[in-house]
Structure 1
């Protein structure tokens, strides 16, 4: 069994640089495996030298991601509620939160499998792109949705591990999941000739193996914890609360992925070359942003724990330290992308036209980390504090501004306009939450 970090469930406590990094570094590495997986998938399909296949994978992944965003609360909600129970030193409630989330995850995942044909059709209608891109997108969506039950259960496992301070174990689980996914994508797509469906089937098999491994680890862990009654686990009031707040989590998650999807759709309207170009650059954008997600995760756990313990000094320390580290890493990531971005593009695709076009728009991807740093850190703070209503409202404001600028700037400046609108969206998300923070904190610690 993996050892916990040095963070212990007691109050009061002091948040240090070491504690922030003990959570942020493992979770940054864990989160980085997700966009790197996307990079590998794009690179594998890119070996065929067909922009339509790369575009189909990007469009299919966008549809898939926005559907799964509706269930992100299974990770973030579990993290926040477990972290607050951790701050109260309530081991039984930590365990109960996990089982409640798992039941919701399993039922939701099975429902998505049943509705996968409808989801594929709606995705094709929304993207409205050329036939060859649509065909590749349809195949990818239908296969990958088979993984929904296992993927959602893995969300709850990761949420529990992060909320309870087991970030290293969370990293190991993500490495298992995405490492196997990379290997299977290469094997099935390139060596066995399954094409784009090989990338999707690699995900299905990997999610299943990770779920079995994660559940085995947690069941062993739970044996050492106090036993609890079924009445506590399946307390309908607690389950109802989880489902109720899920709406406030689902809405911003859907809008965030909706922004990605609209960006992809508008890219498709500019042609297959622009769609493929932006797919490559968006993967680089996500790699930069995921460097910051570890500090958002640290903010979730430490702020949630501080709220559970009702200890304001730790709350303030968590915000300051995660913001400082996030900004420093954002600047470093931007420098690295400026320096090595063209090499990354060349590794992803060998299509000469895509490589040339992506190099032209590379500076937009390089600024991804600085423009998204505050948004990711503030979201972590508000999620950990379970102030989900504020996240929803500020995301709605930012999303409306994004739609307006996306269509206006896209018409005026083409692809440059699309990227400018996306960066404005990122900046507004962070600044709007920052403006709300002081008022929210004063009501809790008054």
Structure 2
């Protein structure tokens, strides 16, 4: 059944659902850097640059380890949304148990390998003995919050799949507020030093997990089903979730490698260039806070539409969420085009950095229009649990852009940004081609074949 774009846009119910999922996630995204800023201000009262540096180094290693495992959130959303749309309460519960179980397994593996990884990181960074002692203490304390952080990823992905963004917002809000309050208490009142910052974060992460778990029973009532443990003993029931998470992990690792290469090449071009590049990447980061919200909505709503086997809903979600995201990216384009100099001046007051950043305004201006497609299509592929295609698009874009980047090395920083824009453009184009092929084959929505799950005696939730 063909649906016109105008008919899809007129679906007011989907408009409401998109914004109901998007707004809480935008607010959640914005809260994270704000809390980071407050924490930095509090640590600044320790009267030692070494203390601030120790927290920065230890935190960067911990955040890197946690960030590369964010696939737990993305991999969970699509499967949960499809099961919810199909009204399969048993499957909804199975995915929840599998995701939380996978989070605990990964936390255990990280507990084993985190110390060797940190040793390698510290060796590469070569901090002074004082910095090493402070940063390592901070990092080791932070590891105690790792299981909670990974289970929070799984829970947030599951809640989004259940079409609820309010609970993830409450979880992140509770985590952030408690983190700030405890940091104030531990630093300014109890004088616990940098370990106080780490302890506050650990307690806050576990509290955020508790908040999420408290909301679980009420949400589970939406889809009647049973807790079936027997399917968890079969490898076949784990394969889809694990393979999707594997592909998302490879995709995310490749993307992080791209940003690392941008920083590395900028470093070779001098300190002012690195700082100027960070300003432009900050512009992309600010934009991502908004576009990520729409990507999350697309993940949840397309997954639900696929579970319901509703091509009309699938089309409406992409048109409406995509339309709003495109409008916002055009707004960023106009804003950066008109006020790019003011944005740079707001970020830095160092004359040499400003002078290095001004020539980069054209790249800052084009970034919103080029990168928006990647956010939208990532959401679609995650909702459809087609992570292999998303992974392949990322790898292909990287493989094409990398040699071109080497050819553009003589153009220095301009060559670097031309390569980055090309990479983002290639991602969007390749994913569009893949999406078109899937649409032509009418394989977004699989044939309605239900795999029966053998029931055992269990009490309903």
Counterparts of 1:92-171 in structure 2 under 5 Å? 92-124=90-122, 135=132, 141-171=139-169
Q: Which residue of 1 is the match for residue 397 of structure 2? A: 398
Is the 8 Å Cα contact of residues 26 and 292 (structure 2) preserved in structure 1?
yes
Residue number among 29, 32, 50 corresponding to 2:30 in the alignment? 32
For residues 176 and 274 of structure 1, what CA distance do their matches in structure 2 show? 38
Is the 8 Å Cα contact of residues 59 and 137 (structure 1) preserved in structure 2?
yes
Unmatched 5+ residue regions in structure 1? 1-12
Determine whether 1:384 maps to 2:383: yes
For residues 238 and 21 of structure 1, what CA distance do their matches in structure 2 show? 33
Q: Which residue of 1 is the match for residue 343 of structure 2? A: 341
For residues 122 and 406 of structure 2, what CA distance do their matches in structure 1 show? 21
For residues 298 and 174 of structure 1, what CA distance do their matches in structure 2 show? 17
Is the 8 Å Cα contact of residues 156 and 168 (structure 2) preserved in structure 1?
yes
Distance 1:102 1:442, change over 3 A: same
Q: Which residue of 2 is the match for residue 8 of structure 1? A: none
Unmatched 5+ residue regions in structure 2? 1-10, 447-461
Q: Which residue of 2 is the match for residue 6 of structure 1? A: none
Counterparts of 1:179-328 in structure 2 under 5 Å? 179-184=177-182, 200-219=198-217, 221-222=219-220, 225-232=224-231, 235-270=234-269, 275=274, 278-279=277-278, 282-328=281-327
Shift of 1:377: 0.7
For residues 296 and 309 of structure 1, what CA distance do their matches in structure 2 show? 20
For residues 280 and 141 of structure 2, what CA distance do their matches in structure 1 show? 25
Q: CA RMSD in A?
A: 3.9
Q: Which residue of 1 is the match for residue 65 of structure 2? A: 67
Distance 1:234 1:171, change over 3 A: farther
For residues 14 and 228 of structure 2, what CA distance do their matches in structure 1 show? 37
Instruction: Answer with 1 or 2: which has the greater Rg.
Output: 2
Shift of 1:179: 3.5
Q: Which residue of 1 is the match for residue 451 of structure 2? A: none
Shift of 1:82: 0.5
Q: Which residue of 1 is the match for residue 7 of structure 2? A: none
Shift of 1:119: 1.5
For residues 278 and 135 of structure 2, what CA distance do their matches in structure 1 show? 13
Is the 8 Å Cα contact of residues 251 and 392 (structure 1) preserved in structure 2?
yes
For residues 405 and 137 of structure 2, what CA distance do their matches in structure 1 show? 29
Determine whether 1:430 maps to 2:432: no
Distance 1:413 1:185, change over 3 A: farther
Distance 1:353 1:179, change over 3 A: farther
Q: Which piece of structure 1 moves more, 49-58 or 390-399?
A: 49-58
Shift of 1:323: 1.4
Shift of 1:55: 8.3
Paired residue secondary structure (1:16):
helix
Distance 1:172 1:240, change over 3 A: same
Distance 1:43 1:222, change over 3 A: same
For residues 393 and 256 of structure 1, what CA distance do their matches in structure 2 show? 12
Shift of 1:249: 1.6
For residues 415 and 131 of structure 2, what CA distance do their matches in structure 1 show? 25
Shift of 1:124: 4.1
For residues 299 and 177 of structure 1, what CA distance do their matches in structure 2 show? 25
Q: Which piece of structure 1 moves more, 223-232 or 358-367?
A: 358-367
Q: Which residue of 2 is the match for residue 329 of structure 1? A: 328
The alignment of Structure 1 onto Structure 2 pairs a total of residues equal to 428
For residues 77 and 268 of structure 2, what CA distance do their matches in structure 1 show? 38
TM-score normalised to structure 1 length: 0.80
Counterparts of 1:368-383 in structure 2 under 5 Å? 368-383=367-382
